[in-house]
Amino acid sequence: MANIPMPYIEESSERIICLNGEVNDYMSASIVSQLLWLESDTPEKPITMYINSPGGSVTSGMAIYDTMTYIKSPVSTVCIGGAASMAAILLAGGEAGKRFSLPHSSIMIHQPLGGTRGQASDIMIYANQIQKTREQSNKIMQYHLNKAKGHDKYTLEEINDLMERDKYLTPEEALDLGVIDEILTKRTEPESEKKEGQSDAPKTD
Protein backbone atom coordinates (compact mmCIF):
# COMPACT_ATOMS: atom_id res chain seq x y z
CA MET A 1 0.00 0.00 0.00
CA ALA A 2 2.90 2.38 0.63
CA ASN A 3 3.54 2.91 -3.08
CA ILE A 4 -0.09 3.54 -4.06
CA PRO A 5 -0.75 7.29 -4.59
CA MET A 6 -2.85 8.78 -1.78
CA PRO A 7 -5.90 9.76 -3.94
CA TYR A 8 -6.58 6.07 -4.61
CA ILE A 9 -6.42 4.64 -1.09
CA GLU A 10 -9.90 5.59 0.15
CA GLU A 11 -11.48 4.46 -3.11
CA SER A 12 -9.67 1.13 -2.88
CA SER A 13 -11.36 0.42 0.47
CA GLU A 14 -14.67 0.41 -1.45
CA ARG A 15 -13.19 -1.72 -4.27
CA ILE A 16 -13.36 1.24 -6.65
CA ILE A 17 -10.48 2.24 -8.91
CA CYS A 18 -10.44 5.56 -10.79
CA LEU A 19 -8.45 5.59 -14.02
CA ASN A 20 -8.20 9.32 -14.75
CA GLY A 21 -5.91 11.06 -17.24
CA GLU A 22 -3.22 9.82 -19.58
CA VAL A 23 -2.28 6.15 -19.47
CA ASN A 24 1.43 6.08 -18.66
CA ASP A 25 3.91 3.98 -16.69
CA TYR A 26 3.15 5.74 -13.40
CA MET A 27 -0.61 5.34 -13.74
CA SER A 28 -0.22 1.75 -14.91
CA ALA A 29 1.90 0.84 -11.88
CA SER A 30 -0.71 2.37 -9.59
CA ILE A 31 -3.70 0.66 -11.23
CA VAL A 32 -1.96 -2.73 -11.41
CA SER A 33 -0.98 -2.46 -7.74
CA GLN A 34 -4.56 -1.70 -6.75
CA LEU A 35 -5.98 -4.57 -8.80
CA LEU A 36 -3.56 -7.05 -7.27
CA TRP A 37 -4.09 -5.73 -3.75
CA LEU A 38 -7.89 -5.84 -4.03
CA GLU A 39 -7.76 -9.38 -5.39
CA SER A 40 -5.52 -10.54 -2.56
CA ASP A 41 -7.88 -8.89 -0.05
CA THR A 42 -11.09 -10.57 -1.29
CA PRO A 43 -10.66 -12.55 -4.54
CA GLU A 44 -14.35 -13.34 -5.07
CA LYS A 45 -15.59 -9.74 -4.77
CA PRO A 46 -15.94 -7.60 -7.92
CA ILE A 47 -13.94 -4.45 -8.59
CA THR A 48 -15.35 -1.37 -10.35
CA MET A 49 -13.02 0.72 -12.52
CA TYR A 50 -14.22 4.21 -13.51
CA ILE A 51 -12.48 5.42 -16.67
CA ASN A 52 -12.00 9.01 -17.86
CA SER A 53 -8.93 8.98 -20.08
CA PRO A 54 -7.67 10.10 -23.50
CA GLY A 55 -5.54 6.95 -23.72
CA GLY A 56 -1.77 6.91 -23.88
CA SER A 57 0.99 4.31 -23.83
CA VAL A 58 -0.04 0.97 -25.29
CA THR A 59 2.48 -0.99 -23.22
CA SER A 60 1.29 0.69 -20.02
CA GLY A 61 -2.32 0.04 -20.98
CA MET A 62 -1.67 -3.60 -21.81
CA ALA A 63 -0.17 -4.08 -18.34
CA ILE A 64 -3.51 -2.94 -16.91
CA TYR A 65 -5.53 -5.04 -19.36
CA ASP A 66 -3.53 -8.20 -18.70
CA THR A 67 -3.90 -7.73 -14.94
CA MET A 68 -7.67 -7.23 -15.30
CA THR A 69 -7.97 -10.54 -17.11
CA TYR A 70 -5.41 -12.31 -14.90
CA ILE A 71 -6.90 -11.72 -11.46
CA LYS A 72 -9.79 -13.76 -10.05
CA SER A 73 -11.89 -10.72 -9.11
CA PRO A 74 -14.25 -9.68 -11.94
CA VAL A 75 -13.55 -6.10 -13.07
CA SER A 76 -16.52 -3.96 -14.07
CA THR A 77 -15.70 -0.89 -16.20
CA VAL A 78 -17.58 2.41 -16.35
CA CYS A 79 -16.86 5.24 -18.81
CA ILE A 80 -17.41 8.56 -17.07
CA GLY A 81 -16.53 11.50 -19.34
CA GLY A 82 -14.49 9.84 -22.05
CA ALA A 83 -12.51 6.75 -22.99
CA ALA A 84 -10.30 7.06 -26.05
CA SER A 85 -7.67 4.90 -27.71
CA MET A 86 -6.05 2.56 -25.13
CA ALA A 87 -8.66 3.59 -22.55
CA ALA A 88 -11.42 2.37 -24.88
CA ILE A 89 -9.74 -1.05 -25.03
CA LEU A 90 -9.71 -1.15 -21.22
CA LEU A 91 -13.39 -0.18 -21.17
CA ALA A 92 -14.26 -2.95 -23.63
CA GLY A 93 -12.05 -5.39 -21.70
CA GLY A 94 -14.18 -5.32 -18.55
CA GLU A 95 -16.19 -8.28 -17.26
CA ALA A 96 -18.77 -9.45 -19.82
CA GLY A 97 -22.16 -7.92 -19.02
CA LYS A 98 -20.54 -5.39 -16.66
CA ARG A 99 -19.19 -2.75 -19.04
CA PHE A 100 -21.03 0.53 -18.67
CA SER A 101 -21.09 4.16 -19.78
CA LEU A 102 -22.77 7.24 -18.39
CA PRO A 103 -25.13 8.85 -20.93
CA HIS A 104 -23.02 11.82 -22.05
CA SER A 105 -19.64 10.12 -22.28
CA SER A 106 -17.59 9.92 -25.48
CA ILE A 107 -15.74 6.80 -26.63
CA MET A 108 -13.12 6.78 -29.38
CA ILE A 109 -11.40 3.80 -30.99
CA HIS A 110 -8.56 3.78 -33.52
CA GLN A 111 -5.36 2.00 -34.50
CA PRO A 112 -2.17 2.63 -32.46
CA LEU A 113 -0.27 5.82 -33.22
CA GLY A 114 3.48 6.32 -33.28
CA GLY A 115 6.44 7.91 -34.95
CA THR A 116 10.21 7.66 -34.97
CA ARG A 117 13.39 9.02 -36.54
CA GLY A 118 16.68 7.42 -37.43
CA GLN A 119 18.22 5.07 -39.95
CA ALA A 120 15.98 3.37 -42.48
CA SER A 121 16.55 -0.02 -40.87
CA ASP A 122 15.51 1.33 -37.46
CA ILE A 123 12.39 2.91 -38.95
CA MET A 124 11.45 -0.44 -40.52
CA ILE A 125 11.90 -2.21 -37.17
CA TYR A 126 9.65 0.36 -35.49
CA ALA A 127 7.04 0.10 -38.26
CA ASN A 128 6.95 -3.69 -37.87
CA GLN A 129 6.45 -3.32 -34.13
CA ILE A 130 3.59 -0.83 -34.64
CA GLN A 131 1.93 -3.32 -37.00
CA LYS A 132 2.25 -6.09 -34.39
CA THR A 133 0.74 -3.79 -31.78
CA ARG A 134 -2.12 -2.97 -34.12
CA GLU A 135 -2.85 -6.64 -34.75
CA GLN A 136 -2.77 -7.35 -31.01
CA SER A 137 -5.15 -4.48 -30.22
CA ASN A 138 -7.54 -5.48 -32.99
CA LYS A 139 -7.66 -9.10 -31.79
CA ILE A 140 -8.50 -7.92 -28.27
CA MET A 141 -11.33 -5.73 -29.55
CA GLN A 142 -12.61 -8.51 -31.80
CA TYR A 143 -12.71 -10.91 -28.84
CA HIS A 144 -14.66 -8.59 -26.56
CA LEU A 145 -17.05 -7.27 -29.21
CA ASN A 146 -17.91 -10.79 -30.35
CA LYS A 147 -18.27 -11.96 -26.75
CA ALA A 148 -20.77 -9.16 -26.14
CA LYS A 149 -22.82 -10.27 -29.14
CA GLY A 150 -22.66 -13.94 -28.16
CA HIS A 151 -21.34 -15.03 -31.55
CA ASP A 152 -18.62 -14.24 -34.09
CA LYS A 153 -20.26 -11.16 -35.59
CA TYR A 154 -17.05 -9.34 -36.49
CA THR A 155 -14.20 -10.74 -38.55
CA LEU A 156 -10.69 -9.47 -37.90
CA GLU A 157 -10.80 -7.69 -41.26
CA GLU A 158 -13.94 -5.83 -40.18
CA ILE A 159 -12.28 -4.81 -36.93
CA ASN A 160 -9.27 -3.57 -38.91
CA ASP A 161 -11.57 -1.41 -41.04
CA LEU A 162 -13.49 -0.22 -37.97
CA MET A 163 -10.31 0.98 -36.25
CA GLU A 164 -8.50 2.27 -39.34
CA ARG A 165 -9.23 5.91 -38.43
CA ASP A 166 -10.44 7.78 -35.36
CA LYS A 167 -14.01 6.64 -34.73
CA TYR A 168 -15.98 8.56 -32.13
CA LEU A 169 -18.92 6.78 -30.54
CA THR A 170 -21.85 7.93 -28.47
CA PRO A 171 -22.80 5.55 -25.65
CA GLU A 172 -25.67 4.33 -27.83
CA GLU A 173 -23.31 3.59 -30.72
CA ALA A 174 -20.83 1.90 -28.36
CA LEU A 175 -23.66 -0.26 -27.01
CA ASP A 176 -24.76 -1.26 -30.51
CA LEU A 177 -21.18 -2.09 -31.47
CA GLY A 178 -20.54 -4.17 -28.36
CA VAL A 179 -17.96 -1.94 -26.66
CA ILE A 180 -20.26 -1.60 -23.62
CA ASP A 181 -23.20 -3.60 -22.28
CA GLU A 182 -25.40 -0.92 -20.75
CA ILE A 183 -25.87 2.85 -20.40
CA LEU A 184 -26.31 4.00 -16.80
CA THR A 185 -28.46 7.01 -15.98
CA LYS A 186 -29.08 6.86 -12.23
CA ARG A 187 -27.68 4.96 -9.29
CA THR A 188 -30.64 3.37 -7.54
CA GLU A 189 -31.24 1.89 -4.09
CA PRO A 190 -29.04 -0.84 -2.60
CA GLU A 191 -29.35 -4.38 -3.95
CA SER A 192 -31.26 -5.55 -0.87
CA GLU A 193 -33.97 -2.93 -1.49
CA LYS A 194 -34.31 -3.35 -5.27
CA LYS A 195 -37.53 -4.57 -6.78
CA GLU A 196 -37.38 -7.65 -8.95
CA GLY A 197 -36.22 -6.96 -12.51
CA GLN A 198 -34.66 -3.56 -11.81
CA SER A 199 -31.35 -2.60 -13.40
CA ASP A 200 -28.74 -0.93 -11.26
CA ALA A 201 -25.36 0.73 -11.47
CA PRO A 202 -22.42 -1.60 -10.85
CA LYS A 203 -22.01 -2.56 -7.22
CA THR A 204 -18.81 -3.51 -5.47
CA ASP A 205 -20.17 -5.30 -2.42
Which residues are identified as catalytic?
A: 85, 110
The torsion angle over the Cα atoms of residues 76, 109, 85 and 169, rounded to 10 degrees, is: -70
Amino acid found at 104: H
- For 65, other C-beta atoms within 10 Å of its C-beta total 21
- Paired with 17 in beta bridges are 49
d(CA 168, CA 166): 6
d(CA 109, CA 163): 6
